[in-house]
């Protein structure tokens, strides 16, 4: 319907006007972008009708901080530590700086201490200066946020008629402080003051200078330039070897800008551009049917075309028509790599949008059809809507149900509507609990910050991974939206009945508009950092982190599916932009490429030792490392950047890196198949044939994946070799059989009186037991005809197999394969309970104790 038209008019109209009176620089023009082109709210309705009702989190914003502002408030932004109690945590920016608020003012600095500990790159926060004014009493309540947008926050410190306003704008090399009738006071925090404007000052001495440009060197050797936008007299005082101040003798109304001078050669560019400063950021976007363009539009004081900002690698990779000075002109090494300069107050970043929606972008390879359909029939057959799970939490429920929901999509894709309905009924039966106020696990609308939370977590950060404190919402609600979208796709009545309710979950993570009175804009997304933060407001909003880029992408993928069935094309596009940006950041900052060059401009990790770890587990503001809060295996660290397995893609080079890096674990039988299956699926993006043969040996897909989804995914990858992907996919012989030991010719007996499976020498086929061999994914069950009992094998490997279970679970599964090196009709049997092969003991008992196939007994399956 939209063709290739640009959907939105995004002209960033600069309006000129004069500065408010009292400004020292009223001759400069004031550029302000009108926020045009951003989408309106998904809805403006309240979530009062949500099953858990309303509740207030026991950790509301610091009461004075948002004075004069009303929720919804951002919870996962880089500056959440300013707002979350106690309000003194270190904020993840504004990069290249990190900052914190104390009673007197804004502390800030750039970490110059880059460390490598074998697992992580670390740049511990460094505080260089405190910006304050002498009139301020230090009363903590005497500061507040006066405004914020999708990237920046404006903080004002005030005392009587004196004030200092800090424009904290990510990417600005200068920290900007606008004083009004206040006496500027800067305190050195990283050492004492050694030199001021080229003059060495000893402890106890002072030095004054008048003008607009100053240079100060602290005793740690760190140099800052101080720019005043109106002439000022500053006096530097060396108080002790560890402390010093720079103050103005009188009240000042005007702007001071501080910038770390990392190298003397950077001064020229900084001197050239200090007069233009950003006060806030507008962002908008435009779309074609294949691309999305993201715009950052800084509102500036001064000529916006001369605004000097800093870029991260992910910006540089997508910026259109950039005005980049030489990288030697200015640069700061941060945990996201080098920040380099760009000039101008509009950035335009182009992203390719995914064309994938419900299913893979190509048909299932015909060689995989039987395999997938068998799995589908079996796995759908396991879903009994009378036994649909009652949600006991948000995260695991969502992951499991989302995995089941894919079965409906695959059935639909393969033309099996008969297999769609049972899945939808099952999903609906389980989802129904979220609408029921009598449920034990409930979503509620949280009123202190504004959002939907897990009600039981409103006063307990340990519930649902801190969901009540706004952790992980995009992970959790992404799964909810996946499930709801699938139900809605096949049940319009359900959609119409529950659209507003499901929208509360969608609005919680992808609300695009400040006009939504109940939810902040794109809660988890840090637009300047280019990705989402999982961390909310727990622990004073501590460090920002995100471990699971796979689930972050899936969060926006769930939103895409929901938008495509329940909302308009605008929100489909918005979700696609969120996917594209999150994927790019995952690729740039989480996926590591040993192939990258050490001096590549856009390689965030110059150290080759870091990149040889192939995958970051956790990216934080001050460190990034190949570790997780919960696991240390290579396959876990990589798999959490991949799962859940959905049609959204992973890049070929990285999956090849992951494949070789995790290989020691992939061949290690003690590592769980629930992780291996994720790595194997991802590897199909490089070599689907190899992935299929590895997938044939899996017996566990975890709660977040299914056999059907694994094989569907592998069978729908690009196939550059062109050979069948699932050729010779092995399976058990299915049907009714008598089992004969190949070496002795003895047949296996079992009965209700003697349930053990025993190969009796010289026994005839007539006396042998008949077993029904039935399908389970990559294995099967053996059921004794006559008694109906399933053959079980315990984990000890010391007891005989016995036809002794009324129902079949994992201990009643066997993988029966053509035995390597034996005649064509001879099979080995491997027990699912312990992974060992069945041998024949001296007394003829069948025992699952063979370490490898070579020592396994060979069996003929003689049709009964």
Ligand X SMILES: *[C@@H]1O[C@H](CO)[C@@H](O)[C@H](O)[C@H]1NC(C)=O
Shortest spacing between CB 693 and ligand X, in angstroms: 5
Nearer to ligand X, 654 or 694 (CB): 694
Q: Which residues in 327-386 contact ligand X (CB under 6 A)?
A: 384, 386
Of 535 and 828, CB closest to ligand X: 828
Scanning 549-605, the segments in alpha helix (DSSP H) are: 549-566, 569-585
Q: Please report, as residue ranges, which positions from 576 to 605 form the binding site for ligand X (by CB under 6 A).
A: none
Cβ proximity to ligand X: between 122 and 805 the closer is: 805
Q: Strand order in 337-343's β-sheet?
A: 308-311, 337-343, 332-334
CA distance 533 to 525: 6
Nearest distance in Å: CB 667, ligand X: 7
Residue 553 region by backbone torsions, left for phi larger than 0, else alpha for psi between -120 and 50, else beta: alpha
In which element (H, E) is residue 72 found?
none
Instruction: Closer to ligand X by CB, 415 or 821: give it.
Output: 821
Which range binds ligand X by CB under 6 A, 204-212, 418-426, 693-701, 748-756? 693-701
How far is residue 257 CA from its own chain's centroid?
Answer: 35
Least Å distance, CB 690 to ligand X, is 7
Q: Looking at beta carbons only, is 212 or 385 nearer to ligand X?
A: 385
Closer to ligand X by Cβ: residue 692 or 800: 692
Binding mask 436-475 for ligand X (x = CB under 6 A): ----------------------------------------
Query: Which one-letter DSSP state was computed for residue 587?
Result: I
Of 779, 353, 371, 733, the closest CA to residue 569 belongs to 353
Q: Which of 697, 719, 731, 736 binds ligand X (CB under 6 A)?
A: 697
Query: For residues 409 and 856, which CB has a smaller minimum distance to ligand X in the complex?
Result: 856
Q: To the nearest whole angstrom, how small is the minimum distance from the Cβ of residue 387 to ligand X? A: 5
Name 727's Cβ contacts closer than 8 Å, sequence gap at least 6: 367, 689
Interface with ligand X, residue 570, by CB under 6 A: no
To ligand X, the closest distance from the beta carbon of 831 in angstroms equals 13
Segment lying near ligand X (by CB under 6 A), choices 51-59, 138-146, 246-254, 691-699: 691-699
The CA angle 249-18-311, to the nearest 5 degrees, is: 80
For the CB of residue 695, give the shortest distance to ligand X in the complex, in Å: 9
Q: Does 421 bind ligand X (CB under 6 A)?
A: no
Q: Does 387 bind ligand X (CB under 6 A)?
A: yes
Number of residues counted as binding ligand X (CB under 6 A): 7
Q: In terms of CB distance, is 762 or 821 closer to ligand X? A: 821
Q: In angstroms, give the least distance from the CB of 613 to ligand X.
A: 25
Note whether 853 binds ligand X by CB under 6 A: yes
β-pairing, 98-101 vs 106-109, is antiparallel
Interface stretch with ligand X, choices 295-303, 445-453, 502-510, 690-698 (CB under 6 A):
690-698
159-167, 544-552, 689-697, 713-721 -> range binding ligand X (CB under 6 A): 689-697
Instruction: Give CA–CA dist 655/649, Å, rounded.
Output: 10
Selected from 33, 477, 480, 694, the binder of ligand X by CB under 6 A is: 694
693 part of the interface to ligand X, by CB under 6 A = yes
Q: Closer CB to ligand X, residue 388 or residue 588?
A: 388
- DSSP-derived 3-state class of residue 533: coil
- The distance of closest approach from Cβ of residue 689 to ligand X in the complex, given in angstroms and rounded to an integer, is 11
Instruction: Count CB-CB contacts under 10 A for residue 678.
Output: 27
Query: Which pairs count as long-range contacts for 2-9, CB under 8 Å and 24+ apart, including other chains?
Result: 2/287, 2/289, 2/569, 3/289, 4/288, 4/289, 4/290, 5/288, 6/286, 6/287, 6/288, 7/286, 7/287, 7/288, 7/569, 7/570, 7/573, 8/37, 8/284, 8/285, 8/286, 8/287, 9/36, 9/37
Nearest to 166 by CA among 332, 524, 182: 182
CA neighbor of 611 nearest in space, from 116, 99, 54: 116
Using rule CB under 6 A, residue 807 touches ligand X: no
Per the CB < 8 A criterion, the answer to whether 557 and 644 are in contact is no
CB 536 within 8 A of CB 470: yes
Footprint on this chain of ligand X (rule: CB under 6 A)? 384, 386-387, 693-694, 697, 853
């Amino acid at each position: 319907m939209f063709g290739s038209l640009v959907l939105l008019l995004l002209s960033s109209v600069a309006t000129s006007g004069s500065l408010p009176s009292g400004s020292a620089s009223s001759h400069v023009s004031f550029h302000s972008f009108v926020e045009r082109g951003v989408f309106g709210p998904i809805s403006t309705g309240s979530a009062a009708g949500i099953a858990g009702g309303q509740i207030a989190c026991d950790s509301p914003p610091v009461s004075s901080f948002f004075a004069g502002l009303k929720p919804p408030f951002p919870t996962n932004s880089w500056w959440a530590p300013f707002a979350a109690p106690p309000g003194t945590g270190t904020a993840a920016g504004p990069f290249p700086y990190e900052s914190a608020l104390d009673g007197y003012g804004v502390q800030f600095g750039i970490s110059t201490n880059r460390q490598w500990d074998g697992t992580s790159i670390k740049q511990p926060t460094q505080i260089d200066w405190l910006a304050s004014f002498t009139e301020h009493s230090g009363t903590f309540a005497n500061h507040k946020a006066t405004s914020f947008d999708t990237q920046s926050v404006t903080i004002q410190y005030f005392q009587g008629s004196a004030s200092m306003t800090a424009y904290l704008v990510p990417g600005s090399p200068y920290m900007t402080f606008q004083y009004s009738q206040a006496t500027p006071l800067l305190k050195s925090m990283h050492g004492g003051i050694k030199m001021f404007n080229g003059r060495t000052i000893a402890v106890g001495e002072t030095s004054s200078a008048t003008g607009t440009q100053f240079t100060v060197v602290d005793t740690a050797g760190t140099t800052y330039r101080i720019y005043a936008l109106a002439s000022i007299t500053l006096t530097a005082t060396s108080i002790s070897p560890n402390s010093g101040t720079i103050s103005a003798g009188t009240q000042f109304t005007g702007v001071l800008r501080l910038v770390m001078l990392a190298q003397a050669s950077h001064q020229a560019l900084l001197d050239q551009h200090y007069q233009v400063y950003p006060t806030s950021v507008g962002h908008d976007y435009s779309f074609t049917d294949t691309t999305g363009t993201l715009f950052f539009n800084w509102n500036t004081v001064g000529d916006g075309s001369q605004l000097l900002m800093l870029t991260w690698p992910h910006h540089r990779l997508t910026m259109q028509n950039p005005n980049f000075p030489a990288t030697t002109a200015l640069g700061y090494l941060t945990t996201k790599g080098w920040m380099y300069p760009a000039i101008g107050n509009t950035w335009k970043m182009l992203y390719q949008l995914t064309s994938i929606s419900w299913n893979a972008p190509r048909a299932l390879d015909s060689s995989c059809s039987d395999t997938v359909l068998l799995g589908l029939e079996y796995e759908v057959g396991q879903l009994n809507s009378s036994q649909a799970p009652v949600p006991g939490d948000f995260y695991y429920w969502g992951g499991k149900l989302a995995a089941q929901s894919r079965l409906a999509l695959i059935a639909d894709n393969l033309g099996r509507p008969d297999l769609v309905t049972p899945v939808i009924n099952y999903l609906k039966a389980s989802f129904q609990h979220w609408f029921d106020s009598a449920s034990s696990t409930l979503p509620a609308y949280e009123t202190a910050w504004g959002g939907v939370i897990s009600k039981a977590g409103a006063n307990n950060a340990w519930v649902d991974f801190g969901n009540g404190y706004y952790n992980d919402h995009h992970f959790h609600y992404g799964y909810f939206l996946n499930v709801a979208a699938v139900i809605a796709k096949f049940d319009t009545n359900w959609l119409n009945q529950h659209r507003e309710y499901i929208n509360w979950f969608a609005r919680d993570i992808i609300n695009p508009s400040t006009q939504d009175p109940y939810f902040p804009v794109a809660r988890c997304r840090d637009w300047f950092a280019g990705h989402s933060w999982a961390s909310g407001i727990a622990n004073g909003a501590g460090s920002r982190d995100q471990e699971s880029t796979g689930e972050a992408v899936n969060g926006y993928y769930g939103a895409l599916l929901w938008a495509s069935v329940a909302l308009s094309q605008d929100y489909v596009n918005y979700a696609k932009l969120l996917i594209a940006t999150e994927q790019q950041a995952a690729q740039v900052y989480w996926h590591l490429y040993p192939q990258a060059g050490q001096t590549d401009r856009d390689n965030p990790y110059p150290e080759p030792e870091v990149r040889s770890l192939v995958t970051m587990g956790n990216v934080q503001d001050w460190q990034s490392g190949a570790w997780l809060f919960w696991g240390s295996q290579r396959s876990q660290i990589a798999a959490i950047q991949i799962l859940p397995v959905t049609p959204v893609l992973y890049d070929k080079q990285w999956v090849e890196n992951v494949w070789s890096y995790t290989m020691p674990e992939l061949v290690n039988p003690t590592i769980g198949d629930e992780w291996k299956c994720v790595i194997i699926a991802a590897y199909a993006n490089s070599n689907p044939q190899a992935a299929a043969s590895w997938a044939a040996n899996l017996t566990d897909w975890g709660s977040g994946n299914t056999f059907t989804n694994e094989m569907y995914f592998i069978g729908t990858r690009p196939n550059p070799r062109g050979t069948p992907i699932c050729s010779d996919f092995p399976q058990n012989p299915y049907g009714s059989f008598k089992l004969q030991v190949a070496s002795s010719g003895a047949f296996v007996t079992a009965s209700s009186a003697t349930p053990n499976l025993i190969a009796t020498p010289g026994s005839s086929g007539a006396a042998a037991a008949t077993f029904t061999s039935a399908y389970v994914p990559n294995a099967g069950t053996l059921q004794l005809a006559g008694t109906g009992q399933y053959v079980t094998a315990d984990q000890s490997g010391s007891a005989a197999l016995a036809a002794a279970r009324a129902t079949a679970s994992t201990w009643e599964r066997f993988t029966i394969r053509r035995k390597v090196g034996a005649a064509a009709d001879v099979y080995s049997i491997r027990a699912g309970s312990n992974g060992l092969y069945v041998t024949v003991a001296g007394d003829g008992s069948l025992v699952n104790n063979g370490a490898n196939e070579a020592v396994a007994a060979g069996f003929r399956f003689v049709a009964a």
